[in-house]
């Protein structure tokens, strides 16, 4: 029809989760553009795989390529391409329970990458006036330690169940830490948080009795005017699979009568 134009929308990529644990799955879905879509994982990332037609992503079995060095293989970038070769990309993080907790806070508070970080001896000191949130495990109590073996593939599956005290520091040079600290608790109890906990087998506990934000603004003097600290409990599992050469299956003993 003359004068009538239909504008195609740009292709974009949505995802069910922005971070998952090893071996777990997350769905990616392209919308807009011109179907059909194909999905692929860009190289040099975390090492996951994706179904090119359905967009179902499977995380790699190890975090950061199995390296304890610089976190350069934490993210996978998923690329969706429509039939006209238009491209949309999105990232997913593969991490342990502590990193997933960071993702929950970042996701729910709408913070940019780099604003939430794991606090360790190499402190990332805030250098601008925005909000920073530091997360650290200050104590960790293992309460079960289990080893099972699988005779069919000669492997040993080991895990330790932990209960950790997670310390969260809300820091800012401006008043954002003072005014947004409660949003951390909202994030930890959010629907996204509960989805992540269920999908990744960890549990963020309710606030214990007597829990409170501790005002630590004074310890940094004028450098960081606002800093509030609160601790929450988190239960998580650390697992490992080890190949073993031979096993004793400890089968039911048989009594051989009068050989």
Partner 1 sequence: MAGPIRNAANYPLFARAGTIPDVSGALQDYFQMMTFSQVTKTVQGFQVDESALPINFQGCWFPYSERQLLMLPEGQRSWSHFMLFADPTLTLQTDDVVLWNGIQTRVLGRMDYGLYGYVQYHLCQDFTGSGP
78 binds partner 1 (CB under 8 A): no
Q: Based on CB atoms, which residue is closest to partner 1, 11 or 109? A: 109
Helix (H) or strand (E) holding 147: strand 131-150
102 binds partner 1 (CB under 8 A): yes
Nearest distance from residue 37's CB to partner 1, in Å?
Answer: 27
Closest CA to 219 of 209, 210, 227, 211: 227
Q: Quote the distance between the C-alpha of residue 125 and its chain's center.
A: 23
Q: Which two tokens stand for residue 79?
A: 């690329």
Nearest distance from residue 21's CB to partner 1, in Å?
Answer: 13
179 binds partner 1 (CB under 8 A): no
Q: Based on CB atoms, which residue is closest to partner 1, 11 or 17? A: 17
Stretch that binds partner 1, among 114-122, 172-180, 223-231, 241-249 (CB under 8 A): 114-122
116 binds partner 1 (CB under 8 A): yes
Q: What is the 3-state secondary structure (H, E, C) of 13-34?
A: EEECCCEECCCCEEEEEEECCC
Neighbours of 45 (CB within 10 A): 19
97 binds partner 1 (CB under 8 A): no
Q: How far apart are CA 108 and CA 110, in angstroms?
A: 5
41 binds partner 1 (CB under 8 A): no
Nearest distance from residue 99's CB to partner 1, in Å?
Answer: 5
232 binds partner 1 (CB under 8 A): no
Which residue from 38, 79, 117, 199 is in contact with partner 1, where contact means CB under 8 A?
117
114 binds partner 1 (CB under 8 A): yes
Say which residues have a Cβ less than 8 Å from residue 20's Cβ, sequence separation at least 6: 26, 59, 92, 93, 94, 100, 199, 200
Length of the chain: 259
The runs of H, that is alpha helices, within 93-231 are: 97-109, 176-188, 191-200
Nearest distance from residue 101's CB to partner 1, in Å?
Answer: 9
Nearest distance from residue 215's CB to partner 1, in Å?
Answer: 25
Stretch that binds partner 1, among 10-18, 70-78, 149-157, 174-182 (CB under 8 A): 70-78
Size of the site for partner 1 (CB under 8 A): 23
Q: Based on CB atoms, which residue is closest to partner 1, 53 or 129? A: 129
CA angle in degrees (0–180, nearest 5) for 7-12-16: 140
Say if residues 76 and 42 touch (Cβ distance below 8 Å).
Answer: yes
74 binds partner 1 (CB under 8 A): yes
To the nearest 10 degrees (0 to 180), the angle between helices 97-109 and 191-200 is 160
Residues that bind partner 1 (CB under 8 A): 64, 70-72, 74-75, 93, 95, 99, 102-103, 106, 113-118, 120, 122-124, 135
């Amino acid at each position: 029809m003359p004068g009538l134009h239909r504008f195609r929308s740009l292709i974009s990529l949505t995802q069910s989760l922005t971070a998952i644990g090893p071996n777990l799955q997350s769905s990616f879905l392209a919308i807009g553009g011109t179907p059909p879509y194909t999905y692929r994982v860009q190289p040099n990332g975390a090492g996951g795989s994706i179904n090119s037609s359905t967009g179902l992503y499977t995380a790699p079995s190890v975090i950061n390529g199995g390296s304890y060095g610089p976190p350069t293989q934490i993210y996978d970038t998923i690329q969706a391409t429509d039939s006209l070769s238009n491209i949309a990309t999105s990232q997913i993080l593969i991490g342990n329970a502590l990193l997933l907790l960071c993702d929950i806070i970042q996701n729910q508070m709408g913070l940019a990458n780099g604003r939430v970080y794991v606090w360790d001896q190499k402190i990332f000191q805030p250098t601008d006036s925005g909000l920073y949130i530091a997360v650290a495990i200050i104590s960790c109590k293992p309460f079960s330690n289990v080893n099972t073996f699988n005779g069919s593939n000669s492997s040993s599956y080991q895990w330790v169940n932990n209960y950790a005290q997670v310390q969260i520091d809300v820091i800012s040079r401006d008043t954002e830490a003072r005014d947004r600290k409660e949003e951390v608790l909202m994030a930890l109890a959010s629907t996204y948080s509960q989805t992540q906990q269920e999908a990744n087998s960890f549990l963020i506990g309710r606030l214990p009795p007597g829990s409170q934000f501790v005002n630590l603004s004074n310890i940094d003097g004028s450098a960081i005017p606002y800093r509030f600290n609160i601790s929450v409990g988190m239960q998580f599992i650390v697992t490992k699979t080890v190949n073993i050469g031979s096993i004793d299956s400890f089968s039911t003993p048989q009594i051989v009568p009068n050989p």
